[in-house]
Amino acid sequence: MSHRCRWVVAPWDGVHCTDIESDRHFGRHWHDTFGVGLVVDGAQHSASGRGDVDAYAGDLIATNPGEVHDGRPIGGSPRRWRMLYLSPAAMAAFTDTHDLRLTRPVMQDPQLAASLGHLFQRLAVGDATPLANEEALVTICAQLMARHTTTRPPCEAADAAMDSVRDRLAAEGVPPPTLAELAEATGLSRFQLLRRFEKLHGVPPHAWGLLRRAERARGLIARGSSLADAAADTGFADQSHMTRQFNRHFGFTPGAWRQATTHR
């Protein structure tokens, strides 16, 4: 199996970049960030929140926060893609707009692709000109706003019972609930709850909870927590358990993430 992940250090809070070349099949997962990137080589098939899609070299790929997706190479050969990730707070700061949604999982936009390439090039060579770097990022956000975003409907994916399940799974400092406990709290059978939650969020409750813990751990590490403390504070059995979860869903290890954020 071929897999290589390189960090491109970003100087802004809530923004990070990756450059990955891999023939790995990533299972269903989600991020708590917006993601927009460019397929540099090869091709990828993925399930997105808006259906199955294929992306080829030169195409742009995008995900919204919480949107479940996966990815595998087309033809078995490695594909390479570069991604820019922005937290919802960072996206709001750079666009002056809240509740945005990226409209398509695969896009063809040569101007936006060139802008992404320009930003990656500046960051990859360590260009330390803050104004020029910020202008490059704002240009990307402006192009997204102009052609590839919409305002999120206020009732998008509304399901109060499943929202309460998600909040319980995301609760900090408490043991993970059992499926029976979640079913009792919502007045559903275990089968009904499992089916409804997976339909709404794309993965079963246990997988969603693991991903939530990984995202929380990522935030703690970025703010200076040790790997052992981040694993303990987010409910992983141990540091190895956290590392396996990171590698499986994000394509990089907690140690690589810590190194990149420390350099920033």
pLDDT tens column, 103-137 = 999 999 999 999 999 999 999 887 778 889 999 99
Residues 140 and 12 reside in one and the same domain: yes
Outline where DSSP puts E strands in 108-228. Answer: 149-151
Contact indicator for 102, 136 with CB cutoff of 8 Å: no
Determine if the pTM surpasses 0.75.
yes
Quote the number of domains for the chain.
2
Q: What is the mean pLDDT of the chain?
A: 90
What percent of the chain lies above the pLDDT cut of 70?
96
Residues 121 and 73 reside in one and the same domain: yes
**36-64: average pLDDT:** 95
Which has more pLDDT, 60 or 127? 60
- Is 250's pLDDT higher than 70? yes
- Of 151, 175, 202, which residue constitutes the final position of a domain? 151
Point out which residues pair with 73 in neighbouring strands. 44
- Is 174's pLDDT higher than 80? no
Q: Are strands 60-63 and 69-73 parallel, antiparallel or unpaired?
A: unpaired
Q: Quote the distance between the C-alpha of residue 146 and its chain's center.
A: 22
| pLDDT grade for 263, boundaries at 50, 70 and 90 | low
Task: Give me the domain span that covers residue 245.
Answer: 160-263
Minimal CA–CA distance to 181: which of 198, 205, 212? 205
Residues 139 and 13 reside in one and the same domain: yes
- Of 129, 151, 173, which residue constitutes the final position of a domain? 151
Q: Up-side HSE of residue 259: CA atoms within 13 Å toward CB?
A: 9
Interatomic CA distance for residues 192 and 168, integer angstroms: 17
Minimal CA–CA distance to 119: which of 97, 142, 146? 142
**What pLDDT is recorded for position 155?**
46
- Is 67's pLDDT higher than 50? yes
**What pLDDT is recorded for position 157?**
43
Residues 46 and 146 reside in one and the same domain: yes
Least confident of 111-125, 166-180, 207-221, 231-245: 166-180
